[in-house]
Chain A
Amino acid sequence: MADLSANPTKSHDWLAAPLLVLALALVPPVSIALGDPFLVKVATRIVVFAIVAVALDLVVGFGGLVSLCHAGLFGIGGYVVAILAYHDFNAEPFGLGALTFAGTSNLAVTLPLGALVAGAIAPVVGAISLRTSGPYFIMITLAFNQMFYYAAVALQKYGGEDGLQIMSTITLGPLDVSNRYRFFYVALAGLALTLLVITRMSASRFGIVLRAAAANETRIVAVGVAPWLYRLVAFTISGIFAGMAGALLAASQQFISPVDMAWDRSGDFVVMAVLGGIATVWGPVLGAAAFIVLELVLSSWTQHWHLAFGLMILLVVIFLRGGLADLRHILKPRTAGGAHG
């Protein structure tokens, strides 16, 4: 078997993603055993943020493009769920131009819809941002994030700056998922799907082109590939998953607000991805978990927790160049010749 890149397909790395999902699946029983429902609440947040971090990895890690608008796309997915739930609760049809729809609190409808709306907006952002590269790309995506943020603030009907509470009961088809434990598994299924799709994509022809273009654009153009469209498709797919995660967030906290899509959250997503390890698809899951747990623990100790947090990120960046995912090499000494750059 021939692996096409440093991604050590020969090793047991493919086990990492299923193991992480399995470990997360054990949280609800543990939480029940300990009688501590807060654990599941934290784990749900980890899972939701991990979806965005993994999706962002496709753009940042494999595409070499630092996007700072994923919180915006995330928020858009959230608002789709909350707005349709609002119209459902108030039994007021939702008008879009000449068309009107009934509101709904059914995630079987709103979850894919949130993903699709984000996925429809992402290529517009991408098509404009991808005309630039490097720092300019970062700045333009940041500008887009701010636009989405202020657009949400301007939604007076839907709470404006205060955000929008979901008053109805969220369901998934016939299933009531307002139950915290049940909802957790819905979110976890979303993460498993994200990991599966992004993992397959990263090893496909598409992924190979994306990675080669990030490392050496001249080379890929010379063999006959114009990378622009590949990057745009990657950005769009990433946006779809970000929208799905936002939809899950809104449903899990029964609330969405502009704060959920502020630009610094976009920065948090990048930190989660890099902290976890952008050379792997599953690393960002570790990054999201570490980020949220550290934020929780440190902020309970001191209000100056950002300082300690920053230092820890610095240490990881210095000593674990491949992020937390590199811990696997420390836990299990790498085999000779299996090294990667």
Chain B
Amino acid sequence: MAEPILQVTTLMKRFGGLIATNDLSMTVERGETHAIIGPNGAGKTTFVSQLQGLLTPDSGSVVLDGRDITFEPAHKRAHLGIARSFQIASLVPEFTVLAHAALAVQSRAGHSFRFWKKAWQDQSLLEPAREAVAAVGLDSRMHSLASDLSHGERRQLELAIALAQRPTLLLLDEPMAGMGRQDGARMTQLLASLKRQYSIILIEHDMDAVFKLADRISVLVAGHIIKTGTPDEIRNDADVRAAYLGH
């Protein structure tokens, strides 16, 4: 089998007396959608933050595409191919939808020490940005301000920004959180269409979506992965049912 895109080995993270990430090891294969499920407070977002680089682990290692990135800062990891969509949409209220995607394109293109040319006339930014916005189905809101978007649209925009980064590994932190049934279904469909194009870590509480999208599922309890397997294996595992699904 080819080398995995992401290899996490014995990751540890403590906050004072609380062990948020406990001896966590996992791999994500190329093109795989790997879901992480677990009860509230299991340390899912803390784990994603260590992958993105907002938090530094106390010990253990994170290897992306053969390169040890354990201590790389977040902005470097973005250039190495990690994109994250945030659980709580993290946007610039006074920027348009298109501007958010263009910002990601601009960052990917290298430094932004360009002082004179008007960014909003720069087709090399806008073309890829439009593509990313269209890919998540926000075309009609291209020029709306982020502050005018509905909750569901903000989640879509989060995803569009991540796609505009052309990532090798997509970290999706509860992309359906707070969405209604209809929006959630649309997002699931969208993610299903992106599957295979990207390697994805998906954190999600919506079990229907998880079982539909994931190639493999890891169950995180108290910062530790107690089980990894295919959706069928996870569904039928007694320990998992006891720890999580049964609740």
Contact = CB atoms under 8 A, between A and B. Distances in A.
Given A209-B106, A219-B90, A221-B74, A1 B115 contact: no
A3 B120 contact: yes
Interface stretch (B17-25, B142-150, B208-216): B142-150
A205 B112 contact: yes
A224 B117 contact: no
B134 interface: no
Contact of A211 (B73, B92, B108, B143): B92
B126 interface: yes
Interface stretch (A33-41, A43-51, A196-204): A196-204
Contact of A205 (B75, B78, B119, B147): B119
Contacts of A6: 94-96, 145
Contacts of A94: none
B74 A222 contact: yes
Contact of A203 (B102, B120, B125, B142): B120
Chain A binding site: helix, strand, loop or mixed by DSSP? helix
Interface in B72-124: 73-76, 78-79, 83-84, 86, 90-96, 98-100, 102-104, 106-108, 112-122
Interface in B149-178: 161, 164-165
B185 to A, nearest CB: 27
Interface in B45-95: 52, 54, 73-76, 78-79, 83-84, 86, 90-95
A222 B116 contact: no
B124 to A, nearest CB: 11
A243 interface: no
A204 B118 CA distance: 5
B165 to A, nearest CB: 6
Given A212-B103, A225-B75, A205 B96 contact: no
A230 interface: yes
A204 B93 contact: no
A341 B147 contact: yes
Nearest to B102: A4
B141 to A, nearest CB: 12
Contacts of A207: 115, 119
Given A201-B115, A203-B120, A2 B107 contact: no
A205 B95 contact: no
A200 to B, nearest CB: 5
A208 interface: yes
B184 to A, nearest CB: 23
A203 B115 CA distance: 8
A334 to B, nearest CB: 14
A216 B91 contact: yes
A203 B99 CA distance: 11
11 contacts: A2-B96, A5-B94, A201-B115, A205-B117, A205-B122, A208-B99, A209-B103, A219-B161, A222-B84, A223-B164, A225-B75
Given A205-B114, A225-B112, A216 B90 contact: yes
A222 B86 contact: yes
A135 to B, nearest CB: 23
A2 B143 contact: yes
B52 A222 contact: yes
Given A208-B119, A341-B93, A226 B143 contact: no
Contacts of B142: 2
A341 B95 CA distance: 10
